[in-house]
Amino acid sequence: MNTEADRRIAVVGGGISGLTVAWLLQRKNYHVTVFELRDGAGGSIGTDLDNGWLAEKGPNSLLLTSRYISELIDGLGLNDRLLHARPEAKKRFIVRGGRPLQLPLSALSFLTTPLFGSGAKLRLLREPFIGPGDAETDESLAGFVRRRLGREFLDYAINPFVSGVYAGDPEKLSARHAFPKLHNLEQKYGSLIRGQFLGARERKKSGEVAKDRAAMLSFRGGLADLIGALENGLAGNITYATPLSGARYERESNSYYLTTDDSSKTGFGPFGQVIYAGSAHDIAAWSFSGGITGSLKELADIHYPPVTSVTLGFRRSDVRHPLDGFGMLVPEIEPYRILGTLFTSSIFDGRAPSPDHVTLTTYVGGTRKPEYASLSDDDLLPQVTGDLDALLGLDGEPLFIRITRWPRAIPQYNVGYGRYKEAMSRFESDNAGIHILGNFRNGISVSDCIKAAFELAEAIHG
């Protein structure tokens, strides 16, 4: 047994999953090397700062859904940089009939909201009396919602919510895999409403907090503060601009080696374990040799729709809407091109140069309208500002513009996604010492990725 190699771990991918698990394992005295494809770390997380404007390129926040989030922030010494969302961020809007209407926050406001008709409100009363679906059926989210809540909730609650989270299509997304907590509530309690009440004690005991009630966090310098702290903690142990093409296992030394396309390099190793935390389509193209059994080619079929983020800064006086909330989501049934808009400067402090300015972050593309994500800047901006004018009221041109394009943005946990999870589990089982981590495996949110990284680090003994 090669003892020195046993303590060496390769982490492939310098996004939030890879950086977090590498930092945790380093604290357990493993010799960790992170291999990052690009010139910088962070994956989809990145922050632009310019004369008081702040634009997030990808995720805008993280949710305090588990103790792991606090442990990471504490361990990195980031509490003095931490920001909590303003109280008004609890208020959210859904567009209906060309107007942003507030999503009800209480039973009383639900009864009086114009967002849902009387039929939909009465339909909700039936939900506790509808039996659970077949536990083995991989049902679409749309089918699940129509069955339990009705069509209007699908159109004006779930459809826009899904566009905001996955940029996806509820007709294709799997209830079981994309929203496992909903699926489990139905199976365990027979009703979503009963599950919310009866499951509260169990969630409290586990230390988990539902995403709709979790505190929303960021940092003074945006989520880049989190990435920067992880990079600093791993200083000297991240290899940038390093594309990898595969791995091999040598039985004689009980070690893994990572290979490259560059024939002048012999590769990297030896390593006792390899943690892959890149994208699904990259590892699908890897070649495996030596004692490594199987492949992950089928992961190439996981769909990642394109999404473009457009952050615009305005004078406060040039936007007629009060922007007194988190943002607005646009249902597919409404005649607009955007998926939704975050009222960025209303959520966290320090996102605009002064109280006399506001920052809005709008998303286009996704599964719904992928063609809009590839429009040129000159063609895209009028589409975005046109919709913002119709919905929020614009009286001036933007003072600040940042456009970020993600040709492959978010993995879609569509119906049938179980076969990909099974393929990953089988590959790990057949190749002890290889672990697969990332937003295509354990959930797409930043918080999901951090939680999965902690759980893997805890599972690796030493």
Exposure string over 229-262, b if 16+ CB within 10 A, otherwise e: bbbebbeeebeeebebebbbbbeeebbbbbbbee
User: 440-454 burial, b if ≥16 CB within 10 A, otherwise e?
Assistant: bbbbbbbbbbbbbbb
The string of pLDDT tens digits covering residues 366-398 is: 999 999 999 999 999 999 999 999 999 999 999
214 and 65 in contact (C-beta within 8 Å)?
Answer: yes
- Domain ranges in the chain? 3-44+221-302+412-459, 86-105+305-409, 116-212
CA-to-CA separations, 238 to 16, 271, 283, 452, in angstroms, rounded: 13, 15, 19, 21
Length of the chain: 462
Q: SS3 letters for 232-258?
A: HHCCCCEECCCCCCEEEEECCCCEEEE
Q: In terms of CATH architecture, what is 3-44+221-302+412-459?
A: 3-Layer(bba) Sandwich (3.50)
Q: What is the pLDDT of residue 207?
A: 63
Identify the residue whose tokens are 């320090």.
350
Predicted local distance difference test score (pLDDT) of residue 1: 42
Collect the ranges in the chain with pLDDT lower than 70. 1-4, 199-208, 262-266, 462
Q: Rounded CA gap, 410 and 286, in Å? A: 21
pLDDT the model gives residue 191? 82
Phi and psi at residue 191, to the nearest 5°: -165, 140
The distance of Cα 332 from the centroid of its chain, to the nearest Å, equals 21
Continuous segment of H or E residues that includes residue 358: strand 357-365
What CATH number belongs to 116-212?
A: 1.10.3110.10
Per CATH, is 86-105+305-409 categorized as 1.25.40.80?
no
